[in-house]
Chains A and B, each alone.
Chain A
């Protein structure tokens, strides 16, 4: 259950539309079911009232849409951003991807989003998803009402939420939260503790499922190249399908490497993967390494910060020592 109500969000958006602050609003649009929410642009109060939705499935990060939307007109666009979205927002501003003046950010608190695939594992034929007394109640076609603990169907990235604090906003609805002490590197550490053979087997199993749909890349707020090297026929590495197990490794190593230092750990890549590959574990490895080798850094915490990968000191760790150190806590 989200503490802020749909009606409050609509009222805020309607007010900003009415007083001319903005002329369109990026929000979530209801779908066929309770869980299939689509990002959309709203331009009137009527539209908002009939189709705007705010529930436990509004995970989509709007930061990337702002890039496209802010360029469209001279007027301002409003976006509802959850705390994690604001980090991506700042990161895009750091990279000068859109004009800050053209965006009006309304920060909204978030209690964590649910993962519909986790619900589908536990319930067949979902007719509705609601919340009663802090539990998730799924009404099904075959087994009646199924009650689930929120924790078991919470999205992975929300279970390991790094911050309830907004890194940017023009206006905040609700209370400001805190940066959290998350356990997001636990899984990475577990992998680091394995033998090389075990790690290889783990990743081989995960990455071999990749179908190269590019959803992870296209959703990623940090992936903003005009032309991706993997789409460029002149690059020599362009491929539309993975023909060999090498190519899936190369794609995912390079994808994660290219966003290292810019990845805010928003978790969209893992959310959208149709094959449930834990892609965030690659990004988090880079984040964890950078934190350990070069000091704590959170991409998007502030606009204009310099990522460790485009910085240096004369005393940096040598690559051979970095590998030896992998797995230990510095």
Chain B
């Protein structure tokens, strides 16, 4: 484990950004967001960014192929994707876990090359939480906010940043920063972890239990009468899906520029009325069905297909952002029977 005084953190950022692009969370008028470090930015102390970190690997829109039309010829132009190495600094435990959930979708056969390419070029420096919010419930899904995964794991105390490499990629980056950091033992970090563990127990959602849900429970919940009440107020907007670190549905669309056609993909939301619209019509015609899909996907379908792993990481973004305050916690409590 290495450490560096927080006064020198800008030197650390300068060093990392001299070799590859570095993204850090910064405070803006609209909450924290990841921005490219340019020497002037300071790291946000906010618990989490408004938008999740999935954008780095699965951006909201992405050009896939262009069709150039000239006369009777159509030329197919594939975009040149030369991704450079980049470092994302300060990713929280929930968001790091979300990458694992996305990996199971995008890296499974058939592999999504756009995603894979970015994943290979990205180095994740995670940051342990010390002050989780009342909306946090990562513990429900077995995530320890105090010891996130990641290529390098950081712990921040009042005056020091502790860095611990967990992967080869991480070790390489950390070694390159040896001139700035010094070796240390893990006592301070262990103390912090113990303290955070105590706080986690006291969080209002600490008792939330997901065990009622999981693989092969489709029939148990699909026709539950509670969906009607739960979905009643849903507006059918896409806020929850777009701030969610694990929502991974997308649509592929063509845009005609007048001289060529750009085929791109963009995030889609199962909450939207035309999400399942096909040539023959729509299979989910009510907001109840759309609403049910989102939560069944996170709590039942995803676990069914992925060895029981839930498709939610408990980051709490949907709790904070839903216009009508309906969210996965309320769904779990209502359907899963826990109070």
Contact = CB atoms under 8 A, between A and B. Distances in A.
A212 B131 contact: no
B131 A125 contact: yes
Interface in A269-295: 271-272, 274-277
B80 interface: no
A271 B47 contact: no
Give the size category of B's interface with A: 35 or more
Nearest to B318: A274
A7 B229 CA distance: 23
A215 B239 contact: yes
Nearest to B323: A272
Nearest to B321: A274
A38 interface: yes
A142 B235 contact: no
Interface in A211-246: 211-215, 217-219, 231, 233, 239-243
A142 B131 contact: yes
Given A32-B205, A33-B204, A213-B237, A276 B61 contact: no
Interface stretch (B167-175, B217-225, B266-274): B266-274
Contacts of A65: 233
A213 B319 CA distance: 15
Given A124-B47, A219-B323, A41 B202 contact: no
B116 interface: no
B239 A41 contact: no
Contacts of A217: 237
B330 A212 contact: no
B282 to A, nearest CB: 12
Given A37-B325, A213-B239, A240-B267, A231 B133 contact: no
Contacts of A41: 232
A32 B237 contact: no
**Max chain B CB contacts within 10 Å: which of A41, A126, A214?**
A214
Give the size category of A's interface with B: 35 or more
Given A218-B236, A240-B266, A275 B202 contact: no
Nearest to A126: B134
Interface string A36-67: 11111100000000000000000010000100
A230 B298 CA distance: 28
Contacts of A33: 134-135, 204
A275 B329 contact: no
Contact of B238 (A39, A120, A214, A275): A214
B51 A211 contact: yes
Nearest to A124: B131
A182 interface: no
Contacts of A142: 131
A122 interface: no
Given A211-B242, A241-B61, A31 B325 contact: yes
A243 B267 CA distance: 11
A275 B50 contact: yes
Interface in B240-272: 241-243, 251, 253, 255, 264, 266-269, 272
A240 B251 contact: yes
Given A40-B232, A142-B131, A242 B273 contact: no
Given A32-B204, A33-B204, A243 B255 contact: yes
A127 B239 contact: no
Contacts of B326: 38
Contacts of A126: 133-134
Given A40-B232, A211-B243, 8 more contacts: A37-B325, A141-B131, A212-B238, A215-B235, A219-B323, A240-B268, A243-B264, A271-B323
5 contacts: A125-B133, A211-B60, A218-B236, A231-B274, A276-B30
